[in-house]
Structure 1
Amino acid sequence: MGRRALTRQDATGAYPRGVEILLWLVPPVLVTAAAMCWVGWVGREGRGEVDRDVAARRLARALQHERPGRYAAPTPERDRSTGVAVRPSRRAS
């Protein structure tokens, strides 16, 4: 008897109607795809050929700048804290 109930349930399926839970994703996906196409179409207009003379001048100017060293000067190493608070000693008057 248990087998019949399981096969009958499997035959009808867990959902009597088709699963429509993901249909809400269709409009955002379409809008995103359209926006990507539009941005690609509009963005291509500004792309032109690079002027090699201007690029070479910019590169030469950037390479001539004096740049600081790659690493900063090392900071003096401090004593590691022991976690014990020590008050400074008082002078005897």
Structure 2
Amino acid sequence: MEILLWLVPSVVVAVLAMLWVAWLGREGRGEVDRDVAVRRLAGALEHDPRRSRRPVPGYAAPQPERDRSSGIAVRPSRRAS
């Protein structure tokens, strides 16, 4: 049991750190006014993504051919030239 005494300082430090972080974060992010939240939601719902000036995400390079997987390690066959 005495061998576990070397863990006591690290456990005490960890518990104190958890309590300190919990105390600092107790106020949270703050509350947003209900009217402001409703306006933000309305603006997000009215936004038309098709009229956005941002480019549409896509792939610049073609997709590589899918390798057939048989579950068995096989050397690739040589292609006839």
**TM-score under structure 1 length normalisation:** 0.47
> Which letter maps to 2:49?
E
How is 1:1-93 mapped onto 2 (pairs within 5 angstroms)?
A: 19-63=1-45, 64-66=47-49, 78=65, 83-87=77-81
Q: CA deviation at 1:77?
A: 8.9
Aligned length: 64
CA distance in 2, matches of 1:61, 1:55: 10
Percent of pairs identical after alignment? 56
Q: Mark the structure with the bigger radius of gyration.
A: 1
Partner of 1:22: helix, strand, or coil?
helix
Partner of 1:60: helix, strand, or coil?
helix
> Which letter maps to 1:39?
V
Q: Which runs of 4+ in 1 moved over 4 A?
A: 75-82
CA distance in 2, matches of 1:56, 1:62: 10
